[in-house]
Amino acid sequence: MQHFIKTSDLDIPTIHKILEKANHYRDKTPEKILEDKTIITAFFENSTRTLSSFEIAAKNLGAKVIRLDVSKSSTSKGETIADTAANLNAMNPHAIIIRHKNAGAGEHLARHIDCPIINGGDGAHAHPTQALLDLLTIFNHFKGDIKGKKVGIVGDIKNSRVANSNIELLTRFGLDITLIAPPHFLPYTTLKTSHNLKESIKNLDILISLRTQTERHNYQIYGSLKDYAKDFCVTKDLIANQDIIILHPGPVHHNIDLDDEVLKDDRCKVLDQVNNGVLIRMAVIEHCVL
């Protein structure tokens, strides 16, 4: 059985197959290969893109999708995640897609469940399908020639599961990563780091901007988002005429992470990422379920 909790669960040949499959689904109406399958989405944390992306992906392949309505589930009555899992398991689903505010929730669930668990984001730990869709966006833009490409990740890296998953995955594919953030947003790392976006951006082929994860801060460790934006917002001025692509997983803090002009620029791939997200999740669900 193939769970997908973190990017390192998949080896490079398998990831290549998933990228190929995702691109194949872009060009071809998918067959309903999951017609006899039931997939549960259990999102214990808010989501717009990821939940709908997974549900569309599963339905595109013909699966029945049952959304656990968390606000009405017994978790709000104090049921443990293990008990919820055991009950869901007894309904014999073919996969459960989980998002949870606690790191390790997917791994924990996998111990109590007989079907594949796909992680839709756990705390600040991992968001593996986001990293895969980012990789697909980069891979297609550079027509597969990505080894050695210089990628910057800018934002609240320390608290970001997207950063964690991208660092693992993009490093394995030979990209050269620089983490760019104020000191309080940088994790301990052996990667290159910078506090200066204006200087660092000049050397980059790709910049991944991330939202400040205010929901994971116990207290405000910085002045204000406006102060942060002065040095770290990606602006039209900063990217000038540079040959660079800009990614962001959403939701975007407008004019804090990316300015509105950058969002309208062809080099900004945010909507391509959303489109690639459905395709990648189709390929991932197929890989885990069949």
Contact residues for ligand NCD (CB under 6 A)? Answer: 49-50, 121, 127, 130, 161-162, 211, 249-250
Nearest approach in angstroms of CB 199 to ligand NCD is 25
Nearest approach in angstroms of CB 86 to ligand NCD is 27
The continuous run of DSSP H or E covering 137 comes out as helix 128-141
Nearest-angstrom CA–CA distance, 13 and 251: 31
Nearest approach in angstroms of CB 131 to ligand NCD is 11
Nearest to ligand NCD of 16, 49 (CB atom): 49
Nearest approach in angstroms of CB 268 to ligand NCD is 15
DSSP secondary structure string, 168-189? HHHHHTT-EEEEE--GGGPPS-
The continuous run of DSSP H or E covering 24 comes out as helix 12-27
Nearest to ligand NCD of 94, 161 (CB atom): 161
Residue of this chain nearest to ligand NCD (CB atom): 211
| DSSP code at position 95 | E
- List residues bridging with 64 in a β-sheet: 38
- Cα–Cα–Cα angle for 259, 273, 241, rounded to 5 degrees: 45
SS3 state at 86: helix
Nearest to ligand NCD of 30, 250 (CB atom): 250
Nearest to ligand NCD of 211, 287 (CB atom): 211
Nearest approach in angstroms of CB 121 to ligand NCD is 5
Nearest to ligand NCD of 37, 105 (CB atom): 105
Nearest approach in angstroms of CB 273 to ligand NCD is 9
CA-CA distances (angstroms) from residue 231 to 128, 147, 185, 225?
A: 29, 29, 13, 10
Phi-psi region of 264 (alpha: psi -120 to 50; beta: other; left: phi over 0): alpha
Nearest to ligand NCD of 21, 49 (CB atom): 49
Angle between helices 12-27 and 128-141 (to 10 degrees): 70
Six token digits for residue 143: 């027509």
